[in-house]
Amino acid sequence: MSQNYQQSIQSAPAQNAQENTQDMIAGLKQLKELVDEGILTEEEFSAKKKQVLGL
Q: What is the pLDDT of residue 14?
A: 72
Query: Which residues contact residue 23 at a Cβ distance below 8 angstroms, ignoring those fewer than 6 apart?
Result: none
∠ CA 16-18-22, rounded to 5°: 115
Instruction: Answer with the residue of higher pLDDT: 13 or 29.
Output: 29
Residue 1 reports pLDDT greater than 70? no
Instruction: Return d(Cα 46, Cα 33) in angstroms, integer.
Output: 13
Give pLDDT tens digits for 16-53: 878 889 999 999 999 999 999 999 999 999 999 999 88
